[in-house]
A and B are shown apart, each in its own frame.
Chain A
Amino acid sequence: MKNKGIKTEKKGAAVKTVKKDFTAIILVISCTILTSIGQILFKYSSGRLDSFHSIITNVPLIFGFLIYGIAAILLIMALRTGHLSVIYPFVALSFIWVTLASIFLFKENVHMLNWLGIASIIIGVSFIGFGSQK
C-alpha cells in the first residue's frame, strides 16, 4: 500500500513537470515569433543608421527593441518554469522563422546549404541546452 502511494506521487510529479515544460514551450515559441518580428523590423531599420539622430528617431528600430524586450521577458519566464534541454531546441526555431521571412519578405535567395547550416545550428543549440541541464 505504502509503495503504491509513493508511485502515484512520483507519477503526479512527472505529470506536473510535463505540464510545466509544455507551458515553457508555448512561452518559448511565442518568444521566437516575437524575436523574428523584431529581427524583420531591424532589417527594415538598418537602411538608415547614419547618425545618432537617425538611430533615435528610427521607428522600426524602436519597435524592434520593444518587441525584443517583450520576447526577453517571455524567455526569462520560460527559463524559470521549464527545463533547459526542452527549451533550447525551441529557442532555435527563430532561425527558421527569420529564414522564411528573408525568402518571402526580402526576396532573398536561400540555398540548400543555408538550410543545412540552419539545421546544424539548431542541433548545436539543442546540444548546448542538453549540456547545460542541471
Chain B
Amino acid sequence: MNTQIIIWIFLIISSIIGSVGALFLKIGSAKFRIHFSINGILDILTNYKLMFGIFLYGLGTIIFLMALRLGELSVVYPLTSLGYIVITLLSMYFLKERMNWYKWAGIGFIILGVALVKM
C-alpha cells in the first residue's frame, strides 16, 4: 500500500481514538479537582472515566507515532488538527453542544489548512 494512504489511515484512527478519549476526559473532569494530597491523587486514580480518557489519549498518541514515523514532522503534526473536527462533531452528538456558524467556519478553515499542508 502507498505510504501516504497508510499515514492517512493512522492519522484518522488516532484522531478518532484521541477524540473519544477527550470526550471521556470531559465527562470525567466534571468531578475533577487538583489538590495535592493522597486523597486528591486517589480521587483522580479512581475516576474511571478520566482514567479511560487518559488511556485512549495515550493509545491515540501511539497510533499517531506510527504516522509520524512514516512522514515528516512538519506535515504530519499539522494534520492532528483533524482532531478538532472530530471533537467538535462528537461534542455535538454526545454532549449536545450546539453547533454554530463559527464552528462550521472553523472546521472549513482546518480542512483547507490540512489540504494546503498535505499538498
Contacts and interface: CB of A to CB of B under 8 A. Distances in A.
Given A45-B65, A49-B65, A128-B106, A116 B116 contact: yes
A67 to B, nearest CB: 12
A99 B109 contact: no
A31 to B, nearest CB: 15
Interface residues of B, number: 42
A124 B114 CA distance: 10
Contacts of B61: 42, 65, 68
- Among B32, B110, B115, the most chain A Cβ lie within 10 Å of the Cβ of B110
B90 interface: no
A126 B103 CA distance: 9
- Among A42, A43, A116, A117, the most chain B Cβ lie within 10 Å of the Cβ of A117
A41 B33 CA distance: 29
B1 interface: no
B39 interface: no
Given A113-B119, A132-B103, A124 B72 contact: no
Interface of A: 39-40, 42-43, 45-47, 49, 55, 61, 65, 68, 73, 76-77, 92, 95, 98-99, 101-103, 106, 108, 110, 113-114, 116-132
